[in-house]
Amino acid sequence: MNPNIPSIDQLKELGLPAPVSYAPQTWGWWVLLGLLGIAVVLVSARKVWQWRRDRYRREGLVRLAELQRRSDDLSALRELPELLKRVALSIPSPTWNTNPVGAGLLAKGPLHSTLMSTDPAPSRASPLPQGVGALSGEEWQAFLQLHSPKPLPADFSQQLAQLAYAPDATLLALSDEHRQHLFATCKRWVEHHHVAA
């Protein structure tokens, strides 16, 4: 036997290098990490703001679902136009609830000349209603269409007025298909109407 053969007892473990730090080693990575953190905070804040802003929309959809379950009830049909008006009044856009109607809404409509009139002494009994709450007829239709991502029926505001003011016999004569179409159109508008950012 060879006496120079090393024994297993003489083996020693190799020294391991120092562990690599996960912290960024240069200032550029720290800047990028900071920008990423700021972006996450801003996106999160925007999402929370949008969620809070759309509270009226969620409440409107809940109420609309309740009304749709009772679509055979005349009171549910009569409340549908009121619900849409309340949702429209809740849209977080200061211009719709404070400025005269038509300033941007009916720029090409019949009231455009009245709005753009340079008459220094406008009449006290102005034909223009103030705010969304007073809209009706063509102005209400134009408002609904302006905020809708998809085209609405041309007589949608008239259908809503019929639900609000027609005699009970007229509402009872509406087919179930027509009622469901009205509810579907209202739901689509409440879900997807545009809101100024």
CB 197 within 8 Å of CB 95: no
Backbone φ and ψ for 37, nearest 5 degrees, come out as -65, -45
- pLDDT at residue 123, rounded to an integer: 39
- pLDDT at residue 96, rounded to an integer: 47
- pLDDT at residue 2, rounded to an integer: 65
User: What average pLDDT does range 40-50 have in this prediction?
Assistant: 96
Domain boundaries of the chain, sorted by first residue: 55-111+133-192
* DSSP 8-state secondary structure symbol assigned to residue 18: P
- pLDDT at residue 184, rounded to an integer: 92
- pLDDT at residue 137, rounded to an integer: 85
pLDDT in tens, 66-87: 998 987 888 888 999 999 999 9
Q: Quick one: angle between helices 74-90 and 156-165, nearest 10?
A: 130
Confidence of residue 120 (pLDDT cuts 50, 70, 90): very low
User: What average pLDDT does range 101-127 have in this prediction?
Assistant: 38
Q: What region, left, alpha or beta, does residue 115 occupy, with left being phi > 0 and alpha being psi -120 to 50 degrees?
A: alpha
Highest mean pLDDT among 45-49, 65-69, 164-168: 45-49
User: What average pLDDT does range 23-39 have in this prediction?
Assistant: 92
User: What average pLDDT does range 126-134 have in this prediction?
Assistant: 59
Instruction: State if pTM tops 0.75.
Output: no
Alpha-carbon distance of 68 to 48, in angstroms, equals 29
Q: Where do the H-state alpha helices sit in 74-155?
A: 74-90, 94-98, 112-115, 137-147
The DSSP bridge partners found for residue 100 are 130
- pLDDT at residue 91, rounded to an integer: 84
